Structure 1
Amino acid sequence: MSGQFLAIGEAMVELAPDGNGALRQGFAGDTLNAAYYARSALPAAWQVSYFTLLGQDAMSDAMLAFMAQKQIGTDYIGRHASRMPGLYMVHLKDGERSFSYWRSESAARLLAEDKTTLKKAIEASDIIVFSGITLAILEDDGADNLLSVLQEMRGADKLIAFDPNIRPRLWPDQDHMRSQLIRGAKASNLVLPSFDDESSHFGDLTIADTIDRYRSYGLNRIIVKNGADDIEGYFDGQPLTIKATTAPQIIDTTGAGDSFNGSFLGHFARTKDAVASAQYASQVAAKTIQHYGALVD
């Protein structure tokens, strides 16, 4: 069994607490995290690749080497002559995280300028994952380019997964943010939202409201994450409820949703079983939040 998994988005330099009062430098980003966990869940015959734009600097070189070490393909990563990767710092309080970002001129903001290259990568892939953060960072016509290609490919035999991953600070205003996130959902055929985000920014009172709203956009595959509470969804005409795995301790929630996304997609590619895949993904997410940083071995 073989195939091609493609994650599209921004890979960043991560500075995160190491538990000893110092900062550890690594590489992460929501869709890169998903690719990392998908690689762990997929058979070796599957190719996992990342689509982004980096610089020609030493940190970009190190990021490419890191991806290669983790068996994430870099053939679809371009290099920009004057821009560099973005950077973020993780702040932790009682296991919950907040972030500081330096990304306004990151190379990844131009990743979708070349629509031909973008289309070639998506055409060659069986599973594609992107996020609301991917859409939010794109400059000029980047979001339109990405969404138009995905919409064109939506009817093909591909799994196009979208995590709204709502980050209001990345958007100019709430109305634009909501309209673009709806466009992202309509360009996909699987959505992986988090209920706390949907409740805060779309006014959903219950998970059923979230599911019904995404169904109204034409989605038939919806998996709603809800922290430590039950995962609920609607998948190929069937409602789903999956008990979430509880972590005995929470060290760092960074990357929890991303680890769920990648693990779910990787497991589903092998089994075609949404319930088993959500159970597996919940187990991985529970392990992830018991360690520092987004990427856990």
Structure 2
Amino acid sequence: MSGFAAIGECMIELSGANGDQWRMGFAGDTLNTTWYVRALTDPDFAVDYVTAFGDDPFSVKQRTFLRDNGINTAHSPTTVGARPGLYAITLTGAERSFTYWRNDAAARHLADDPEALAKSLDGRQIIYFSGITMGILSPRSRQNVLNAVSNARRQGSRIVFDANYRPRLWENTETAKQVLSNAFHVTDIALPTFPDENALFGDATPADTANRIASYGVREIVVKDGTDPALVVTGDTRKEVPASRAKAVDTTGAGDSFNGGYIAARLANLDPVTAAVHAHKVAARVVEFHGALAPMDAARKAFKA
């Protein structure tokens, strides 16, 4: 087993508004995590982003952007007539809000071909996906993803999942609860965010979130909670890890970069508590930049600090 693969949606990101001037980039929750895994692992370590692309000029730019930054795309399909989703970030201080245009996004078709998806995940040391990945898909494609990661897990891959609950992506709360719970059941490392879990499942505390997810059979859990400590639960260990201080200008991608830092640390065989310390350092540095993708060099320096 070697290499890392994430499953999800690469979107066009509009950020850094200055009047009517916007900066265009590419981002998306699992892509953001992939970016930081790429930044924090050896250059010869295989990192792939598994998605679906359109056949438009922006999709070509997406592929070029990923390739130029050392991120491969495995057997990701091209969907004729589709195009990337798009979102714009607006800021109030350092806090962000998003406006999305994604109804005909190519990534909605990333799991239409179960055989191609299985090939993309074959032999991976770690596979990562999220509730946003599941939320954008049809019911059949959601099941295709669960089948693919379950099969990969049986072959020895470790599955990492962040529920990343976004209400607007789901038909209703009951569907979201069922699908996300099913995903946790095939997960080895869970990286949930407490406010999301509180909103969907009504967990009163991060400890409640950890206990519920542990009941699904997950053995390694890190409950993120913004600038509050992260709760690490694994085996007999239950420890709060304080967040690192930051001069935040944009909190976009904070949790995703934490996930990337944590995964990279675990790939380096650091223990879960130490991995969370390094992940906090990465997230604190990332929020000091506008947009979801901070420079890779800045993330590396924070990770090693």
TM-score (norm 2): 0.93
Aligned to 1:253: 251
1:290 and 2:293 aligned = no
Distance in 1 (alpha carbons) for counterparts of 2:19 and 2:250 = 14
CA deviation vs aligned residue, 1:19-40 (integer Å, no higher than 9, x gap): 6762100000001101000011
Distance in 2 (alpha carbons) for counterparts of 1:76 and 1:33 = 20
Aligned to 2:302: none
Distance in 1 (alpha carbons) for counterparts of 2:176 and 2:139 = 15
- State the Cα distance separating 1:237 from its structure 2 match: 3.7
Partner SS for 1:197? helix
**Matching of residues 72-221 of structure 1 within 5 Å:** 72-221=71-220
For this pair of structures, how many residues does the alignment match? 295
AA aligned to 2:67 is: A
- State the Cα distance separating 1:279 from its structure 2 match: 0.8
Aligned to 1:41: 40
- Once the two structures are overlaid, the 10-residue window that deviates more, 27-36 or 156-165, is 156-165
AA aligned to 1:264 is: Y
Would you say the 8 A contact 1:28–1:295 is kept in 2?
yes
AA aligned to 2:224 is: K
Mark the runs of 5 or more structure 1 residues left unpaired by the alignment. none
Distance in 2 (alpha carbons) for counterparts of 1:123 and 1:64 = 21
Distance in 1 (alpha carbons) for counterparts of 2:248 and 2:32 = 19
Residues 19 and 261 of structure 1: is their aligned pair in 2 closer, same or farther, counting only changes over 3 Å?
Answer: farther
- State the Cα distance separating 1:183 from its structure 2 match: 0.9
Would you say the 8 A contact 1:49–1:76 is kept in 2?
no
AA aligned to 1:138 is: L
Distance in 2 (alpha carbons) for counterparts of 1:18 and 1:283 = 27
Partner SS for 2:52? strand
Would you say the 8 A contact 2:50–2:76 is kept in 1?
yes
- Once the two structures are overlaid, the 10-residue window that deviates more, 220-229 or 67-76, is 67-76
Aligned to 2:226: 227
AA aligned to 1:293 is: G
Partner SS for 1:279? helix
Partner SS for 1:17? strand
Would you say the 8 A contact 2:123–2:157 is kept in 1?
no
AA aligned to 1:266 is: A
Would you say the 8 A contact 2:83–2:105 is kept in 1?
yes
Runs of 4+ in 1 over 4 A off after TM superposition: 18-21
Distance in 1 (alpha carbons) for counterparts of 2:222 and 2:155 = 21
CA deviation vs aligned residue, 1:113-160 (integer Å, no higher than 9, x gap): 111111122222111100000000012510001101212333442221
TM-score (norm 1): 0.96
